[in-house]
């Protein structure tokens, strides 16, 4: 089986589990339901030779429902094809099934998503924070979390304070102005 | 004829006695043999390594003995971004260093948080430790670190070491001399 045949056979294998399928620059993206994740993941790994989980990412569509989206980047070592699986999670549910038993590398990816976005993974063997310390009360990559951070206090472990932004963040603005004007040392907030 | 007097000049101790202040002697010993604690946390640590290597050669200033045990160090060089998760560990390592001890905040991140105006980064190690010398730069060139080290040596030579290290003894001596 070639890579092209594999991607063509997706609809046949998954059937109605694929809610939508798009092609963009030779990359295939499938949207699935959160409840079908484990079944689809097992089929991908066992029958479709997607033996490599490149990454899991999460997106916060703040103000939309369902709020969160999780993206699984799969790769087949034998056939050299990519497959992207997307699913949506509402804030009320706030959890999806783990795939860390299917691709062991998902263990830390899922911990990072839990740490940064606060989405839980059902059945994860060790769902602790991975970057921030245990007990940190916020999920920093959520849209409502301010860039400068929020104060927190855990005696003898860590503390955090809001950073002084001084009119930042200093994003370079595209223009023909000089570097001094495009990237100032400070920018007044009203500008 | 009177017997010849022995000369006041004693060739046995010639050159072996110097007169100085105790503080000056202590400071001279401290400043020319600073053993750094390399607290390398980010890219500044690469410049710190370059400073220790042959091209810039920090041993010209007596500070080449980088110790990875805080118990044997005099000066902590905080080289890099201090995250909140690391901050209390840095403080703990500083507390394990024996007195007298000094701190160099190397680079923008260690001095002020640098470009990381972020939820995760401590905005300057001076919020936790008493910093003696700040070095600007992102990262600073090895010459800048050496200049900072020389500044620290100047600062040490003006210190009242005995009073700082042995306050009770100093008081007793001052009373006896008064």
Report whether pLDDT(A81) > 60: yes
User: What is the band of A165 on the pLDDT scale with cuts at 50, 70, 90?
Assistant: confident
What percent of chain B is predicted at pLDDT more than 90? Answer: 70
User: What is the band of A155 on the pLDDT scale with cuts at 50, 70, 90?
Assistant: confident
A125, with CB counted inside 10 A (0-12, 13-18, 19+), is exposed
Residue in chain B closest to A164 (alpha carbons) equals B117
**Which residue, B73, B59, B50, is CA-closest to B149?**
B59
**Which residue, B55, B56, B53, B74, is CA-closest to B146?**
B56
User: What is the band of A185 on the pLDDT scale with cuts at 50, 70, 90?
Assistant: low
Residue A15's pLDDT is what?
77
Report whether pLDDT(B47) > 80: yes
* Cβ within 8 Å, pair A159-B84: yes
- Which position has the token pair 């830390």? A108
Size of interface A-B (CB pairs under 8 A): 47
Alpha helices in chain B (DSSP H): 22-31, 44-52, 84-96, 107-112, 142-157, 161-165, 167-177
Mean pLDDT of chain A: 85
What residues of chain A lie within 8 A of the CB of B120, using their CB? 131-132, 140, 149, 160
> Looking at residue B3, what DSSP letter applies?
P
Contact A83, A30 (CB under 8 A): yes
More confident residue, A60 or B15: A60
What is the β-pairing status of strands B75-79 and B36-40?
Answer: parallel
B141, with CB counted inside 10 A (0-12, 13-18, 19+), is middle
Report whether pLDDT(B34) > 80: yes
pLDDT tens profile B80-106? 999 999 999 999 999 999 989 999 999
d(CA B129, nearest CA chain A) in Å: 15
Of A131, A138, A149, which is closest to B118 when you measure between CB atoms? A149
B138/A contact by beta carbon, under 8 A:
no
Measured CB to CB, residues of chain A less than 8 Å from chain B are 131-133, 138, 140, 145-150, 156-161, 163-166, 168-169
Residue A168's pLDDT is what?
67
pLDDT tens profile B128-171? 999 999 999 999 999 999 999 999 999 999 998 888 888 999 89
Residue B8's pLDDT is what?
65
pLDDT tens profile A6-31? 777 777 777 777 888 888 887 889 89
Report whether pLDDT(B9) > 80: no
What residues of chain A lie within 8 A of the CB of B85, using their CB? 131-133, 158
* Cβ within 8 Å, pair B119-A168: no
User: What is the band of A3 on the pLDDT scale with cuts at 50, 70, 90?
Assistant: low
B116/A contact by beta carbon, under 8 A:
yes
Residue B151's pLDDT is what?
95
Mean pLDDT calculated for residue range A91-120 = 92
d(CA B17, nearest CA chain A) in Å: 51
* Cβ within 8 Å, pair A148-B119: yes
B60/A contact by beta carbon, under 8 A:
no
Residue B152's pLDDT is what?
95
Residue A188's pLDDT is what?
62
Tell me the C-alpha distance between B27 and A143, whole Å.
54
More confident residue, A49 or B60: B60
Tell me the C-alpha distance between A139 and A60, whole Å.
11
Residue A48's pLDDT is what?
84
Report whether pLDDT(B1) > 70: no
Residue B18's pLDDT is what?
80
Q: Give the residue from B119, B123, B126, B136 with the most A CB atoms within 10 Å of its CB, the best one to mutate.
A: B119
Tell me the C-alpha distance between A35 and A164, whole Å.
43
| DSSP labels, B86-118 | HHHHHHHHHHHSPSS-EEEEEHHHHHH-TT--S
Give the DSSP H or E segment for A10.
helix A10-14
B113/A contact by beta carbon, under 8 A:
yes
By three-state DSSP, how is residue B135 classified? strand
* Cβ within 8 Å, pair A133-B113: no
> Looking at residue B4, what DSSP letter applies?
P
Cβ neighbour number for residue B129 with a 10 Å cutoff: 23
Report whether pLDDT(A190) > 60: no
Residue A116's pLDDT is what?
93
Of A156, A160, A166, which is closest to B119 when you measure between CB atoms? A160
Residues present in chain B in total: 178
Mean pLDDT of chain B: 89
């Amino acid at each position: 089986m070639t890579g092209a045949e594999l991607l063509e056979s997706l609809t046949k294998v998954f059937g109605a589990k694929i809610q939508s399928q798009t092609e963009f620059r030779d990359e295939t993206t499938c949207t699935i339901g959160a409840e079908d994740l484990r079944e689809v993941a097992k089929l991908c790994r066992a029958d479709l030779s997607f033996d490599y989980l490149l990454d899991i990412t999460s997106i916060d569509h703040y103000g939309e429902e369902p709020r969160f989206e999780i993206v699984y980047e799969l790769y087949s070592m034998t056939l050299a094809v990519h497959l992207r699986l997307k699913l949506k999670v509402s804030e009320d549910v706030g959890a999806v099934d783990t795939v860390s038993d299917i691709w062991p590398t998902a263990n830390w990816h899922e911990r990072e998503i839990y740490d940064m976005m606060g989405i839980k993974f059902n059945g994860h063997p060790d769902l602790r924070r991975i970057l921030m310390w245990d007990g940190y009360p916020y999920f920093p990559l959520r849209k409502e979390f301010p860039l400068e951070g929020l104060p927190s206090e855990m005696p003898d472990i860590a503390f955090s304070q809001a950073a002084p932004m001084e009119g930042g963040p200093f994003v370079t603005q595209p223009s023909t102005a000089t570097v001094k004007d495009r990237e100032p040392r400070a920018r007044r907030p009203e500008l | 004829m009177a017997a010849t007097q022995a000369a006041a000049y004693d060739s046995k101790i010639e050159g072996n006695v110097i007169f100085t202040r105790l503080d000056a002697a202590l400071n001279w010993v401290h400043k020319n043999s600073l053993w750094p604690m390399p607290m390398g946390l980010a890219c500044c640590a690469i410049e710190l390594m370059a400073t220790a290597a042959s091209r810039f050669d920090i041993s010209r200033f007596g500070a080449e003995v980088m110790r990875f045990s805080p118990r044997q160090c005099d000066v902590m060089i905080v080289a890099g971004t201090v995250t909140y998760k690391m901050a209390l560990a840095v403080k703990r390592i500083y507390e394990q260093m024996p007195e007298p001890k000094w701190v160099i905040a190397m680079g923008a991140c260690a001095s002020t948080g640098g470009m990381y105006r972020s939820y995760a980064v401590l905005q300057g190690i001076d919020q936790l430790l008493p910093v003696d010398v700040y070095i600007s730069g992102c990262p600073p060139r090895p010459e800048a670190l050496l200049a900072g080290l020389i500044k620290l040596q100047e600062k040490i030579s003006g210190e009242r070491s005995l009073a700082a290290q042995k306050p009770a003894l100093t008081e007793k001596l001052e009373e006896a001399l008064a």
